[in-house]
Amino acid sequence: MISIRNLTKGFENGPILEDVSLEINKGEALVIIGGSGCGKSTLLRCMNRLIVPEKGEIYVDGENILDPNIDIDKVRRKMGMVYQHFNLFSHLNILENIILAPMKVNGVSREEAEVEAKQLLHRVGLDGREYHMPSQLSGGQKQRVAIARTLAMHPELILFDEPTSALDPTMVDEVEKVIRDLVDDGMTSVIVTHEMSFARKIANRVIFLANKHIYEEGTVEEVFDYPKKPLTQQFLYRSRMYEKELNKNDLDLYSLSSEMKKFLLNYQNNDSQLKLLSVITDELLYPIFEHISNATIRLLCSDSSQRHMIQIYSKDFESDPLQEPYIDELNLRILEHYSQFVFSKQTKNGWNISIQMLSN
């Protein structure tokens, strides 16, 4: 439905997004995550040309919206946008807020618009609030009105820019539920959010923006449970990551294993995971440090499940570290026995080993 090709956009201080390409399909719920200032809102606002990129093409249903001759209002009518700060008209009651655009822009009669507005208020769980003023509603209620107002324009796609981040935590759920219902009904949605548990529940696909581009993308499972790249891991796991540089000269595998155990005990865990930590030091690190001098080990703990992961990186591996001479068949078998899976991968920074812990 939207096809973004090689988009570049910057402000006075240089580029924010560089050479970003992205396809958004009909019915999809695409979640965009990334650190503050990485360009999430900028990317969203390019999609309805609130911001014009320096380079690239953006097609909406096959039409290049950056073409100056295009009827941009027509394109924008296909796309609703829901902001962090609701943007309701404070001097108009809820009903008037909802019917304004359908009447003015789409030429719908007042009667018809009012009937639909009431249906939409029902849909977002706000029956009977039509004559309230925005100031009489809570943040969560205002955001639900903002969503109803967007729906009143019959968009084919809705862009949500942090729809819950201005809300009191007690009101996040009610707004998330409304958005989830829309997605379940097949509304194509692009959602920027910092609420990772919400992102998990709603996304068909997740993109992580960093270093001015789509740094990593995939399904919820791929990005949240098994992020492959370091910045994604740091972003998602932050305090839930144990990391240690290992050096052959002062290698103390005994204290490494006890530090990792201590760290893991802060999270949901099981006996085989604790056992795995000893297996990793004895059957994997011990033999490979016969051949290498430096490595980094990371233990990434999941916040909500036992899906923890261990990764070992080293520039010193000259070939696949899960093979001779680094580790022999028997040691690998033992390691695999105590893990969900073990795999190695070559990247431009050398080989790395990923070990997914067994979860019950």
Residue 100 beta carbon to ligand ATP: minimum distance, rounded to whole angstroms: 26
**Taking contact as CB under 5 A, which single stretch among the options 8-16, 39-47, 137-145, 240-248 is the one that binds Mg ion?**
39-47
The Cα 195–Cα 176 span in angstroms is 10
The one of Mg ion, ligand ATP, none whose footprint includes residue 38, by CB under 5 to 8 A per kind, is: ligand ATP
| Closer residue to Mg ion (CB): 41 or 352 | 41
Tokens representing 204 are 């068909």
Buried b (16+ CB within 10 A) or exposed e, 287-311: ebbeebeebebbbbbbeeebbbbbb
- Alpha-carbon distances of 241 from 143, 235, 247, 299, 301, rounded to whole Å: 34, 10, 19, 6, 6
The one of Mg ion, ligand ATP, none whose footprint includes residue 343, by CB under 5 to 8 A per kind, is: none
| Closer residue to Mg ion (CB): 74 or 85 | 85
| Closer residue to Mg ion (CB): 4 or 264 | 4
**Taking contact as CB under 5 A, which single stretch among the options 41-49, 65-73, 203-211, 276-284 is the one that binds Mg ion?**
41-49
Binders of ligand ATP among residues 1 to 60 (CB under 6 A) are 11-12, 16, 34, 36-42
Residue 156 beta carbon to ligand ATP: minimum distance, rounded to whole angstroms: 23
Angle at 176 between CA 230 and CA 42, to 5 degrees: 55
* Rg from Cα positions in the chain: 25
Answer whether 336's CB lies under 8 Å from 323's CB.
Answer: no
| Closer residue to ligand ATP (CB): 224 or 235 | 235
| Closer residue to Mg ion (CB): 41 or 188 | 41
Residue 4 beta carbon to ligand ATP: minimum distance, rounded to whole angstroms: 15
Residue 161 beta carbon to Mg ion: minimum distance, rounded to whole angstroms: 6
* Of residues 248, 179, 235, the one with CA closest to residue 207: 235
The one of ligand ATP, Mg ion, none whose footprint includes residue 135, by CB under 5 to 8 A per kind, is: none
Selected binder of Mg ion within 34, 39, 41, 147 (CB under 5 A): 41
* Of residues 82, 273, 267, the one with CA closest to residue 187: 82
Residue 234 beta carbon to ligand ATP: minimum distance, rounded to whole angstroms: 16
The Cα 276–Cα 282 span in angstroms is 10
The beta strands (E) that lie in 220-293 are given as 241-247
Tell me the residue type at 111: E
Give the residues lining the site for ligand ATP (CB under 6 A).
Answer: 11-12, 16, 34, 36-42
Interface with Mg ion (CB under 5 A): 41
